Amino acid sequence: MSKQRWWWRALQVLLLAALFVFIGRELSEQREALRSAAASVQIQWHLIAAASAVVLVTYAALIQSWRMLMAGWGSRISFLNATRIWTIANLGRYIPGKIWSVGALVVLAQREGVNGVASAGAALLGTAINIGAGMGVVSLAGAAVLDVLGPGYRVTAWVGSAVFVLGVIALPWLLPALLRFLAARRAGLEPPANALPSSAVWAAVAINIASWLGYGVAFAIFCHALLPDISGALPAFVAIWTASYLVGYLFLVAPGGIGMRETALVAAMLALGVATSAEAAVLAAASRIWLIVLEVLPGFISLALAPAARPRAP
């Protein structure tokens, strides 16, 4: 196992190195255009604050979606505790593999007395719903973005959307068997006492669709905060943000999708004619810094305010 882990780590490093070399070469070829685009940046802090507020409201909606899924299984947790757990677990996406954020969500929820299978099921189901909803939003809002990212992206998005819809419909029948399987695989875990109501699933789907729209609105505001003369309709910004975010998220090697998300974002903006290549590169770099702050800062604040761990009885 240690030898396999070593090879996997080496492969991750090589892929990331190749990606950053490619990005560095592209940036060096556009050095003058980038300087010109950067000189035209006019930071409007009130718009950046507005965009950040939209993202934080979107976070709150996703946290509520996670709470609803757990409550559907009879495991309730306060919104304040859920926010603390969710923001701390969100730091795990900057560790290669992405699964760490889901694992942290489960462990921290269990420490609050939430049923282990319910917390794991809600975390995995919430992630699947989020990805499926994002594919559906991109499929409807920006097929041109998918075409430029690659010949198979549009087909993949449509297939993923169809599987997502069918999976949501079938969830009330599939989840009980899946939860029993999870409980059987781990000693000491008990499946939730009640089945997840379909209303909770559909509510989570609606919230996740709205969250992608909220992210797109925030990204549009952010772009206008830096480049006031940038063009493009709101659906274009929704499609660009959602497609690039999903590409970065599904590229498991890159922590936080760094590199892949920016590459996809630049390609998407060029495909829809929203910005020049230099402007798109400036916005991609600036939005990465903005995104890191909005993802990392709440987690660090939650860690600082988290209560000290109480000693457990043997």
79 has a pLDDT exceeding 70:
yes
Q: What is the pLDDT of residues 190-220, one digit of tens each?
A: 656 566 777 888 888 899 999 999 999 999 9
What local confidence, expressed as pLDDT, does residue 216 receive? Answer: 93
312 has a pLDDT exceeding 50:
no
310 has a pLDDT exceeding 50:
no
Q: Enter the DSSP assignment of 272.
A: T
What local confidence, expressed as pLDDT, does residue 1 receive? Answer: 47
Question: What dihedral do alpha carbons 197, 203, 209, 214 form, nearest 10°?
Answer: -150
Taken as a whole, the chain contains a residue count of 314
C-beta of residue 254 within 8 angstroms of C-beta of residue 16: yes
- Residue 225 to residues 166, 245, 290: CA-CA distances in angstroms? 40, 20, 12
Helix (H, G, I), strand (E, B) or coil at 36: helix
Q: What is the pLDDT of residues 5-42, one digit of tens each?
A: 555 556 555 655 555 555 455 545 455 544 555 556 67
184: its two tokens: 């059987």
What local confidence, expressed as pLDDT, does residue 309 receive? Answer: 45
What local confidence, expressed as pLDDT, does residue 33 receive? Answer: 47
Q: Where are the domains of the chain?
A: 54-305
Assign 262 a pLDDT band (cuts: 50, 70, 90): confident
The three-state DSSP-derived secondary structure of 77-146 is: CCHHHHHHHHHHHHHHHHCCCCHHHHHHHHHHHHHCCCCHHHHHHHHHHHHHHHHHHHHHHHHHHCHHHH
Report pTM.
0.76
Bigger pLDDT: 212 vs 149: 212
Selection from 299, 255, 257 nearest residue 105 by Cα: 299
C-beta of residue 98 within 8 angstroms of C-beta of residue 12: no
Sign of CA dihedral 155, 247, 100, 123: negative
How far is 168 from 217, CA to CA, in rounded Å? 26
157 has a pLDDT exceeding 50:
yes
What local confidence, expressed as pLDDT, does residue 83 receive? Answer: 92
Looking at mean pLDDT, say which of 50-59, 110-119, 170-179, 301-310 comes out highest. 50-59
Percent of the chain with pLDDT over 90: 14
Bigger pLDDT: 216 vs 92: 216
Weakest mean pLDDT among 8-22, 40-54, 256-270: 8-22
What local confidence, expressed as pLDDT, does residue 52 receive? Answer: 95
Nearest 5°: the CA angle 303, 89, 46 is 75
- Listing DSSP states for 206-241 in one string gives HHHHHHHHHHHHHHHHHHHHH-TT----HHHHHHHH
Assign 48 a pLDDT band (cuts: 50, 70, 90): very high
136 has a pLDDT exceeding 50:
yes
Selection from 237, 242, 226 nearest residue 274 by Cα: 237
What local confidence, expressed as pLDDT, does residue 97 receive? Answer: 58
Weakest mean pLDDT among 56-60, 149-153, 213-217: 149-153
What local confidence, expressed as pLDDT, does residue 311 receive? Answer: 42
C-beta of residue 227 within 8 angstroms of C-beta of residue 36: no
